[in-house]
Amino acid sequence: MTPGGRAAVFGRPIGHSKSPALHRAAYAALGLDIAYEPVDAGADDANALARRLRAEPGWRGASVTMPLKQAMVPLMDSVSARVGRLGALNTIVVGGAPGHPTLRGENTDVEGIVRALNDAGARGVRRVAILGSGGTATAATEAASLLGARSVDFAVRSLPRAAGCLALADRLGLAAEAVDPSEAGRRMPRYDAVISTLPAGAADPLLPVLRVDTIRPGTALLDVIYDPWPSELARSWEAAGGRVAGGLSMLVHQAVEQVRLFTGGGDRDWAGVTNVMCDTVGLPRPGS
């Protein structure tokens, strides 16, 4: 292998993270000796993490998970336009000249969502429902726009909490509305895709009102959780004739983009990297 440097994933809790296994498999497949470790850190550690990335040699970058996705943004030297819109990052790229490192914030969650839904057969997407209104819901909103959606419904129990998502949808040129889950259930046959950004178990009590049994056959669902899996929502969706992608699919695809950023991209076998990552976490390879 060639010399490569180091990278890490920052977050709390971090012991369950599959990012180390994914990244290590990718760098091995690319023939790069890049070390990748989990670092347990909370929002109060954000400044110390930024200083560490600047002070210690060899850093390529860091994956960022909760609760640091928003806390790290103001500590960057620059951020992508997407991070500026979403107010959250999941990737820090270390660049600059030797002795003068710079930190750039990126967000690859959006690519993860788009490609996971593509894996679930999402095509001709015009109307989308997003369950939830937190940080992942903002990434889902931008993903919906990239998929070609024209309108988005945010299914939330507290309508005011969707204000940020509604403002983002407006900036992206999407018609958007905050609705309670029962109204989303009445509209379920109209959706071309549904994205659940709710934490594990949170969708279970909503199943009676979501009326999953009324979806059009083949409608794509992305449920961003991956433990436990399959979720009750995913089981119900498949039983109704829909197609499902889970959080592992999103995780793999966003990680591929992180590897691309940490290695400088280039003409590499990225499809092969994706396949290796899928094998690592037991996912079917895309298109298989």
Q: Which residues are catalytic?
A: 69
Report helix angle 270-281 to 19-30, nearest 10: 140
Sequence-distant (6+) residues with CB within 8 A of 88 are: 69, 70, 73, 107, 135, 138, 139
For residue 56, the one-letter residue type is E
The gap between the terminal CA atoms of the chain, to the nearest Å, is 30
Is residue 230 within 8 A of residue 246, CB to CB? The reply is yes
- Write the CA distances from 176 to 52, 71, 127, 250, integer angstroms: 41, 27, 10, 24
CB count within 10 Å of CB 217 equals 8
